[in-house]
Amino acid sequence: MRRFFTLLLGYCVLTLRFSASASAGESRVITVDEAVALAIGQNAALQAARARLESGQAMASSTARHLAPAIHLSDEFLHYNAAFVPLIPAGPGQTVPFPVRKQDTNMFTVAADQPLLGLLRLSADYQSQQESTEAGAAQVASAELSLRQAVETLYLRVFEAKALEDTALASERELNDRLEVARVQLATGVLTEADVLRVQVAAANARQQAIQAHSQELVSRASLLALLGLPADDTGVTLVEPSSLLASGEKAPEAAAAQDQALSRRPEIMQTRLTLQAGEHQQRARRYALLPEIDLEGAYMRSYGQIILPTNFAFIGLSAKWAIWEWGASYAAYRASQALARAAAFDLENQKQQIRAEVTSTMAQLDAAASAISVAKQAIDSAQEAYRVTDAQLQAGTATTTDLLEAQSALTQARLNYLRAQYELAISRVNLRRALGQQ
């Protein structure tokens, strides 16, 4: 409950901040943490899950209240066509009227009943609903983790596309500078028309890479804003670079420790385990439902118009009811609850296996991304040196323009690969946190 109000307060603060910025005509600045809070606060799927959780809590509370005695009030007023006054014999040939009921009667009753043997079934039902409610809370936590993962991933994709676009544009500028030199050399006869055309093609390719990266940025940004509940084409939102995600140097746990951590923290495991426990209690409740119903009852009545009844009277006693033949309906319900409990047990084991596989796969992806960073750094160093040597050879007349363009292309590709590796590593960390169930 405290967590819910914290999220609600954060969402309200963000909403007020955005409203104030919009009214002042200013750009709305959103960090990655604020984006996560905004998405969690107003996501429709999460709101639906929270509403179902609230419903489950109310149903559990309703069942718990049935464990206590129930008090009923009733009042019945009847108007008959005539009073009931039969004649009874009073002697040979004589009768006298005997009033039994007046024309208007009234019966006021205060009754109370307390289930006795039924407390077993009601208690099991309450425990089942309570655990189902806790399973609903775990489902909400799981949805929040998935939403956080989606927001952070899209956020990183936006800035990855920006970095790729900047790198491609820088390469285009370098090639355009090279093109100006090539045109001068063409005029002096040092280069041919074909050499100039090759430089133009390389510059156009760099421009095409920048266009593709910009398109990727727009798509990722629109998807992110939609996830935050904002217009996909809202140009008034400024995203702050997620330096905390890029600079995260947290060390991944060992494989065995990671799987144990995931199995202990993942809300999906908690949800399925609570569903299993709820099914077991529901099975117990259906078994208790096969027993007779025995209730303690008591009532106070006040009568008017019934001559043969006292004006005030009360009673206390026991009532028993047992459906000894109902074509096996209650027993079939018991068997159904048994099957559901077995299914929940199988679901729990299957989910454990899936989570183990997910953790193993995610850690392998993280290791691969970390290795790609090292390889990409070495590739950049090699490509820079190759470009420097080729440029010197071109000046000395021992290399061609084609050689230099190939070196330039290799350097640009190495830079792009390094940027992709950086962001893939950050996304792999986000995925690992989700796999381990970390907030």
Q: Is 27 helix (H, G, I), strand (E, B) or coil?
A: coil
Which fold does the domain 2-436 belong to in CATH? Outer membrane efflux proteins (OEP) (1.20.1600)
What would the mean pLDDT of 31-59 be, rounded to a whole number?
90
Angle at 280 between CA 321 and CA 283, to 5 degrees: 30
Position 2 scores a pLDDT of 43
Position 250 scores a pLDDT of 65
Position 24 scores a pLDDT of 40
Query: Which residue type is seen at 96?
Result: V
pLDDT band at 26 (very low <50, low <70, confident <90, very high): low
pLDDT of residue 11 exceeding 60, the answer is: no
Position 249 scores a pLDDT of 64
* Beta carbons of 124 and 83 less than 8 angstroms apart: no
* Beta carbons of 195 and 404 less than 8 angstroms apart: no
pLDDT: which is higher, 1 or 41 = 41
pLDDT: which is higher, 408 or 6 = 408
pLDDT of residue 190 exceeding 80, the answer is: no
Of 183-197, 223-237, 382-396, the least confident: 183-197
pLDDT tens digits along 325-379: 889 898 999 999 999 999 999 999 999 999 999 999 999 999 998 899 889 999 9
pLDDT of residue 202 exceeding 80, the answer is: yes
* Beta carbons of 199 and 405 less than 8 angstroms apart: yes
All residues at 6 or more sequence positions from 301 whose CB lies less than 8 Å from its CB, including other chains: 107, 108, 109, 110, 312, 313, 314
pLDDT of residue 160 exceeding 50, the answer is: yes
Query: Which residue type is seen at 179?
Result: L
pLDDT of residue 91 exceeding 70, the answer is: yes
Query: Which residue type is seen at 136?
Result: G
What would the mean pLDDT of 89-116 be, rounded to a whole number?
90
What would the mean pLDDT of 48-70 be, rounded to a whole number?
91
% of the chain beyond a pLDDT of 90? 55
Position 405 scores a pLDDT of 87
pLDDT of residue 95 exceeding 80, the answer is: yes
Axis-axis angle for helices 2-23, 32-42 (nearest 10)? 110
pLDDT of residue 418 exceeding 60, the answer is: yes
CA gap 167, 96 in Å, rounded: 117
Q: What's the chain's average pLDDT?
A: 87
What is the reported pTM? 0.78
